[in-house]
Amino acid sequence: MSMAAYLGIVMVVGVIVLLFMVIKLKVQAFISLLIVSMGVGIFSGMPLDKVITSMTNGMGGTLGFIAVVVGLGSMFGKMLEVSGGTQRLARTLINKFGKEKASYALALTGFIVAIPVFFDVGFILIVPIVYSLARETKKSVLHYGIPLLAGLAVTHAFVPPTPGPVAVAQLVNADLGKVILFGIIAGIPSAILAGPVFGKYIGKKINVGVPDYMMEGIEKEIDEKDLPSFSTIFSLILIPLILIPLVLIVLNTISSTFLDPNTFFAKLLKFIGHPFTALTVATILSFIVLGRFRGLSKEDINKVSTSALNSSGLIILITGAGGVFKQILIDSGVGDVLAQSVSSLNLSPILLAFIIALIVRVAAGSATVAMMTAGGIVAPMLSNFSVEPALIVIAIASGSTALSHVNDSGFWLVNRYFGINEKDTLRSWTVMETIIGLVGLSVALILDIFI
């Protein structure tokens, strides 16, 4: 057996073992990734000391960026959650759009809210509004719920600073500004088709009302007097805390392309537009505007921000373990073997990235595991291809979104909150997620033609 074939087998067996540990043995993904990384390094012939060095470099190189972005983003999102800003945003947009176009308002709300707030948190905060609309209009809860889910899922998958695309961008060395730009380009048609368009269709096919066991919590969730004003949320949150950081990151990309990088202005723009700077400013402003201005004490703000870090710790560690897996594949030579094999197949690296992420997603259920595994496998191969790394991020995000089923926690979240059985959850949630994945892949392939 040739060395190339042997290394290929080592990688395949490693992925199989990873999936077995996560799915069957229920071993935490962080531990599973570390164990598999060690195994791949050892069985590929790396010296034992090099295995540890490679793991250290992979963890440190990844978390040096990821930990800061995820930590700051979590604190900002928690302040938005505690202030009631998400409910105010949703209710005002629905009033502006009108009930006939409320599904588009919910998709837009989800798209915006998922930037600073985790998917499940954003859903739980806004779903009472879905219940209210369904009761008032006598339409299926899916008519409004699917657009909300689509908006949340699209941003969660495609648009930094949400953890998934940020982590994969770091793994494949993609420019974050380009990932944001392409993520928005891919996200808009994905959200429309998977949200309002599909929601209207499936709402007619599955006419389901608000579950009786969820009725008690509705009135508690919506309390008008406790919500901040829309003008406060829009002008003091969305503009300075979300839109400006994203614009600055894009400007940073433009400056590095069209300006002399040695000029003071280019260096200043790069510093201001870096995610560290932008998110730090956004987080501090959230402490002031959503915290102190609304009567929270310094101690309260500290408790809120600390609790946010508690919830983001697991994501940071799993992301770091994904970086370890990537580095082992690079240092062991497995990445080079994969690159040569794919080159001989004449397969698009964008399509390959999507397929790998999709296979892991279906097998493991976890989008995070799918993204980290696919990113780790694809990253070492990219030097052999002329492809924009940001499009690889979109492809991996698309693959890790599609075909969500019973081994995904999101599946059961929707199942319970909408009071539908497993078959109807597959017909609604799973199809919605798959539409997002396929549209995202299609956009990535189209953009690859012109870039």
Residues 97-112, mean pLDDT to the nearest whole number: 85
Cα 53 to its chain centre, rounded Å, is 29
The answer for residues whose C-beta is within 8 angstroms of residue 11's C-beta and 6 or more apart is 40, 329, 334, 337, 338, 377
In order of 102, 140, 154, 210, 428, the CA distances from 416 in angstroms are 23, 15, 21, 11, 13
- Of 200-204, 293-297, 357-361, 427-431, the one with minimum mean pLDDT is 293-297
Two tokens, residue 5: 């074939």
Q: What is the pLDDT of residues 18-51, one digit of tens each?
A: 878 877 888 887 898 899 889 989 998 899 999 9
Cα 242 to its chain centre, rounded Å, is 16
pLDDT higher than 60, residue 343: no
In order of 59, 293, 419, the CA distances from 152 in angstroms are 29, 28, 20
pLDDT higher than 70, residue 214: no
**Per-chain mean pLDDT for the chain:** 80
User: What share of the chain in percent tops pLDDT 70?
Assistant: 82
Two tokens, residue 363: 């097998």
Name the pLDDT band for 242 (thresholds 50, 70, 90): low
- Note the pLDDT of residue 222: 45
**Cis peptide upstream of residue 380 (ω within 30 degrees of 0):** no
- If one counts the domains in the chain, the total is 1
Sign of the alpha-carbon torsion through 428, 434, 437, 442:
negative
Residues 232-245, mean pLDDT to the nearest whole number: 54
pLDDT higher than 80, residue 226: no
Give, as one character, the DSSP assignment of residue 388.
Answer: -
Higher pLDDT, 363 or 151: 151
Two tokens, residue 429: 């949630």
Higher pLDDT, 367 or 47: 47
Place of tokens 């269709």: 201
pLDDT higher than 90, residue 302: no
Q: What is the pLDDT of residues 248-272, one digit of tens each?
A: 666 666 666 666 777 777 777 777 7
Place of tokens 């808009």: 188
The strand ranges marked E within 219-262 are none
User: Beta-carbon neighbour count of residue 231 at 10 Å?
Assistant: 10
- Residue 52's nearest CA partner among 66, 63, 38, 72 is 38
- Note the pLDDT of residue 255: 66
In order of 38, 69, 264, 310, the CA distances from 86 in angstroms are 43, 21, 39, 21
- Note the pLDDT of residue 11: 80
Q: Which of 119-123, 201-205, 312-316, 345-349 has the highest mean pLDDT?
A: 201-205
Structural domain boundaries, residue 428:
3-450
Q: What is the pLDDT of residues 371-392, one digit of tens each?
A: 888 888 888 888 778 889 999 9
Sign of the alpha-carbon torsion through 165, 167, 170, 172:
negative
- Note the pLDDT of residue 240: 43
Task: Give the predicted TM-score (pTM) of the model.
Answer: 0.73
Q: What is the pLDDT of residues 126-155, one digit of tens each?
A: 777 788 788 778 889 999 999 999 999 999
